[in-house]
Structure 1
């Protein structure tokens, strides 16, 4: 059965959101451990969007972001992407380095942001994998500072255009009383997305 993602039911959205809540909660705990500071997280808003809508939902194709990309392998194929506005990336770097005005394009700070992205992404995908009982592995992170449109175009090239939809988690973390917005995107090829939705049906029905 090939699912028409544009016609996902409320049941599918509720199930994916429940899985995402567990994953993002675990990710926030891991992030707090890394930063040595309490991290609060609001329930993420989940959308399933066509790939051409991702930039619009993420702030616009021309919006500059600090992005961390991880390739997914195992039972499913695709990418996980963390997108941070510059001010959120700077907050993370300031917290770790104790600086007042971190340069997020400094190689050391890019490495810090990559590590944060990897912790969030890999922890989230571990929860996703455990819940759905499918093996999913996240690669080492790759950091980029670019416009959202350029980042998405690069991913589509890497995936040979074999992706039509993205699952978007719009998340708000609070770190030391400051709001840190971020988006986690998961992009799966059609076969992988079909497997995920089959597992959702099997577990929740």
Structure 2
């Protein structure tokens, strides 16, 4: 997840302001995506280029299931790295240090907002214009590290961008990467806050 940073390091913000800034940022990102692809380009933002004109319930359901499978796989990988390696624990501590003491409800709200908005922009609007690789690299750039310990987070974000983008093209629907991305954030963000966030420092 990309933590909003207006006004200084996220850890310096109180939880209410952190959530408010995050929702403003993600809201603006989502609106920009819809205006860009749906409004200006006149294309369906929830459909990949070349997707059938009408995606039925079966296709959308299959996309959601594929997204859930990818999301659960990413969660399992991150859990294995965090629990099983010193490198993973260091990265989790560095990420947690960027977060204020969010409630579970606020963490889930930001997880859903970021999963939706980032997929609308990077996969729904940007990828059809610049391609899978460039969109994924720019997605990684959104997660620029504020310290050396977070460089791996940027690389992981770029890799996940490739996975989300491939899923978008493979299923034809933005539902798939939205489900995957939101699931990853909805599991990992509350865990980071609870185990490594400001409340535990």
TM-score (norm 2): 0.30
TM-score (norm 1): 0.30
Which has more strand, going by share of residues?
1
